[in-house]
Amino acid sequence: MKTWLVIVSVVAVLLGASTGVGFWMWSDTKAELADTETQLTSTEADLADTQTELADTEAELTEIREVYPPQYFSSYNELEDCIASHTPIDETSGYFRACLTLQEMVLADGYIFSAFKDIDNTHICEAIAGDSVYWVWPDGTIEWMAFR
């Protein structure tokens, strides 16, 4: 009987010790799981932010591709429609400033448009449409100049 009591006591001590070790390991695993869940939540938030930024960047890229690289006008009608949508331009800041403003608006639409001063210090706006070169004025007037 004493032998059984000793065996039962030893088994009880071993079970108690192993349960303590098991509980300690379980506590560490539970803490690691909580940390991992926190990291996952943070990573998911970062992913959502990155996906939003990617969508914004793709939308911006689509807008850029619509106007870049700028092209010559394919026809006189295309030139006329574009110029009509941006003129007349107020010339109170000066004629050349009006030419540059028109140039900026036309470029934003994706077209090549020149605004410059020639050797006589004359302000000139030019555009190529189809196989012709045209002078363009900030009031919307378009005049054929030459074949290119």
Overall average pLDDT of the 67-96 stretch: 88
Q: Where are the domains of the chain?
A: 1-68, 76-147
- Nearest-angstrom CA–CA distance, 144 and 95: 20
pLDDT of 78: 95
Instruction: Kindly report the pTM of this predicted structure.
Output: 0.56
Burial class (CB in 10 A: 0-12, 13-18, 19+), 106: buried
- Both structure tokens of 33: 């799981």
Overall average pLDDT of the 82-88 stretch: 90
- Nearest-angstrom CA–CA distance, 136 and 128: 10
Say yes or no to pLDDT of 129 above 90: yes
Overall average pLDDT of the 82-105 stretch: 88
Choose between 23 and 67: higher pLDDT: 67
